[in-house]
Amino acid sequence: MSVCFPASRYMRRILREPFLLLILTGIILCLLIFVAYPMIRVFSYPSLKDFVQVPQNIRYLRAIRNSLLMVVLSTSTATLIGFLFAYTITRTDVPLKKVLKVISILPLFSPPFMVAFSYLMMFGKNGLITAQLLGLRVSIFGWHGLWLSETIAFFPVAALIMEGVLQSIAPSLEYAGRNLGATGFKLFRTITLPLARPGVAGAALLVSILILSDFGNPIMIAGDFSVLVTEAWMRVEGWGDVRGAAVLSSILLLPSLIIFMIQRYWVRQRSYVTITGKITQVEKEPTRWYIKWTLFSLCSIVAVMILLVYVALLIGAFVKGWGFDWTLTTNYVKSIFSRSPELMHSLTFAVIAGFASSLFSMTAAYLVSRKRFLLRKFVDFTCILPAAIPGIFFGIGYSIAFTRPPIDLYGTASIIILSMIFWNVSMGYQTGIGTFQQISPSLGEAAANLGASSMKIFRQIEAPLIKTSFFSAFVVSFIRAITTLSVIVFLSTSRNVVATFTIMNLVSDGFYGKAAALTSFLLVIAFAVLGLAKLVIGKRMELFRV
């Protein structure tokens, strides 16, 4: 039986353990300095006049309108395709479901700009498919190319969320519906879809946040179709207007926060329980042949669009001149070694940031889950907050806050690593909270009643139970850190440049072969780490948490 202690008793216990108090104080200070402070600096850096003049700036208004348009278009198609995949995998007997699922999640572990970059090589003016195979002189630059890229890049997120929701719907409910005369589309419309609707809405809200804050795809393929993130980048890169970039980032943050709060409230309030007691296993009804092959065809088309991303990179890394000289060469692959500083920076920064972010987030999750203390709600909220912060906002915040006294980290590795650590904290924190919720507090309370300190309880009882979650958090943080672009684009200099920043510049300068080779190498690292993690932990590893 769990014992409940009043908050004052918890505080007295913490005060009796100096080391625990020191850790708690350090976590609160880190969150204040490295999460809250950069956000405050972004909002306070422009003057009120800068914000008031937003409606008078045509470029700002166009970027806002374009961002909203992309959110509506890309969220709609990404959610639709995500539901299509989730339904196919969970509710049908379509062939090759496992293969389709594996292909569908590949974009989750790839650099954020990779889809747009590959589609430029496949469908651009000198594209392998458009120019070479079809003889078309068309351009994928613009809103339509961005729409396609963001749909393919983010539908896997929607698919994973909705797959979990659809799996929670007991087949017996559909079986009962069939016994009452509902078949085909009527069964889907009256039973399956209403039960899945909360998951669909939650997935759409989360995808809309990712699309709104996406920097990698717009900077590669949007062209003159400016959105808030690219306009903020151009403010700094083109005009040195940091105030303008701060204003646009602030505008970008507000809808992201609102959508994030709605999404979390929606998911928490909705119940996905469809049956109580012991669930009877009911054999699924065979999928009608025309539905089966229609779903298989649609999912296969999307799978091919995903595979084209990797085909483009592979070919691009081994041809001499994309679009005009298709002679095979290994020069670009060999040139990767000349990029060893950028690659070593990326690898070193990602390892350090991944480990530190996982350690920090798991410790914070332990304190919030197991202790009662002042500012507990602040720690909980601030650890989750980075999930709602666009990467470019985070990067601008660090650029303003930590490149001048009193904390001047300009051009150092520290500013890159710190930004990676705290931008990824929310992933590990949510994983940690979920893990500690599954561990009964009575285990620790029994040990405490026998005189064990909090640190001894954590070290001997709870730490062994969260090793898998810690490793999962590390893998996710590492992959996000080594492939990130938006967070570091304002922080990278010649002294601390990373591979993703170099790739962006190579694509901008037209060196597609070098960019493809370097991107492929990053991809190999990411998948190698993922494969090693799956080998060590297996199915217990959790790589995505809403």
Q: What is the 3-state secondary structure (H, E, C) of 65-91?
A: HHHHHHHHHHHHHHHHHHHHHHHHHHH
Three-class secondary structure of residue 470 per DSSP = helix
pLDDT confidence bin for 546, thresholds 50/70/90: very low
Task: Tell me what pLDDT residue 272 has.
Answer: 46
- Averaged pLDDT, 234-254: 90
Of residues 194 and 417, more confidence is placed in 417
- Averaged pLDDT, 404-413: 92
Give the percent of the chain with pLDDT over 70.
Answer: 83
Which whole-number Å values give the CA distances from 529 to 347, 351, 476, 524, in the listed order?
Answer: 11, 11, 10, 9
Three-class secondary structure of residue 268 per DSSP = helix
Other C-beta atoms closer than 10 Å to the C-beta of 527 total: 14
Q: Check if the beta carbon of residue 257 is closer than 8 Å to that of residue 205.
A: no
> Which domains does the chain show, CATH number per domain?
1-44+317-322+334-546 (1.10.3720.10), 45-114+135-273 (1.10.3720.10)
Q: Check if the beta carbon of residue 322 is closer than 8 Å to that of residue 504.
A: no
Task: Tell me what pLDDT residue 436 has.
Answer: 79
Question: Lowest-pLDDT range, 16-30, 254-268, 494-508?
Answer: 254-268
- Averaged pLDDT, 144-151: 96
Residue appearing with tokens 């669930």: 279
Task: Tell me what pLDDT residue 539 has.
Answer: 56
pLDDT digits (tens, 9 = 90+) for 327-367: 999 999 988 888 788 999 999 999 999 999 999 999 999 88
pLDDT digits (tens, 9 = 90+) for 496-538: 999 999 999 999 888 999 999 999 999 999 889 888 887 877 6
**Half-sphere exposure at residue 200, Cβ-oriented, CA atoms within 13 angstroms:** 15
Question: Lowest-pLDDT range, 1-5, 56-60, 66-70, 469-473?
Answer: 1-5
Which whole-number Å values give the CA distances from 204 to 82, 263, 339, 412, 530, in the listed order?
Answer: 10, 9, 39, 38, 26
Residue appearing with tokens 């959790």: 542
Give the percent of the chain with pLDDT over 90.
Answer: 51
pTM of the model: 0.86
